[in-house]
A and B are shown apart, each in its own frame.
Chain A
Amino acid sequence: GPKVLQIPSHQIIDMGQMVTLNCDPVSNHLYFYWYKQILGQQMEFLVNFYNGKVMEKSKLFKDQFSVERPDGSYFTLKIQPTALEDSAVYFCASSLLTNYEQYFGPGTRLTVL
């Protein structure tokens, strides 16, 4: 089936540094999402994105977070600066349109030291 790719699979970073997580969504999809899962906890919605804009974000999407998809390339999640509580697995998803199935990538495990 359709595949979403995420790069890198693991990232270790010192607190206070910037990190960018990359997502390669399904090629014809128009809606993009980020979810966060802290180890052993529930998966939670962070943000969705359509037509170059954030449509909705949760309270977990702090001011230090930003998303973009420049010129149809990777859909990125940037955290600047990182904090210890940002350690988690971040999952990217995409869907063709609203009200369609979301396809998930394999996740990026972020460790903030």
Chain B
Amino acid sequence: GQQVQQSPASLVLQEGENAELQCNFSTSLNSMQWFYQRPGGSLVSLFYNPSGTKHSGRLTSTTVIKERRSSLHISSSQTTDSGTYLCALEPGSNYNVLYFGSGTKLTVEP
């Protein structure tokens, strides 16, 4: 079955607004990775986050194992943030496979 559920599927913001993207998982977690997928398809690694909160510029990732969720927060969004954001779960029972969410397509309008 589906190991990781990502929401929302799509999100439209005005520039300057904040975004909260979620991934919920049904299995034990070893780690969660967050990626930005460019329109051309290549991946940009954003976070490798087993637990807790990590920051990188305007991005914040929070993984709460007990609640089986991981989030990506984008503050003060910019048009260049537009694209698809993917989360990928590494299960606690199998370190060598990543299960990807279906992605959030973010559009930031000027």
Which positions in A face B, CB cutoff 8 Å? 1, 31, 33, 35, 37, 42-45, 48, 50, 55-56, 89, 91, 93, 98-99, 101-104, 106-107, 109
**Given the contacts A42-B103, A43-B86, A102-B33, A31 and B45 also touching, CB distance less than 8 Å:** no
Binds A, one of B10-18, B51-59, B67-75, B89-97: B89-97
Contact yes or no, B41 A55, CB < 8 A? no
In the complex, how many residues of chain B place their beta carbon closer than 8 angstroms to a beta carbon of chain A?
A: 22
Residues of B within 8 A of A101 (CB): 31, 33, 45, 48
Residues of B within 8 A of A42 (CB): 100-103
**Given the contacts A99-B30, A104-B43, A55 and B86 also touching, CB distance less than 8 Å:** no
How many pairs of residues, A versus B, come closer than 8 Å at their CB atoms?
A: 52
Does B98 have its Cβ within 8 Å of any Cβ on chain A?
yes
A82 to chain B, nearest CB (A): 20
Contact yes or no, A56 B96, CB < 8 A? yes
**Chain A residue, CB-CB nearest to B42:** A106
Q: Is the interface of A mostly helix, strand, loop or mixed?
A: strand
Q: Which one of A1, A89, A99, A102 contacts B41 once the chains associate, using CB atoms below 8 Å?
A: A89
Most buried by B among A1, A42, A56: A42
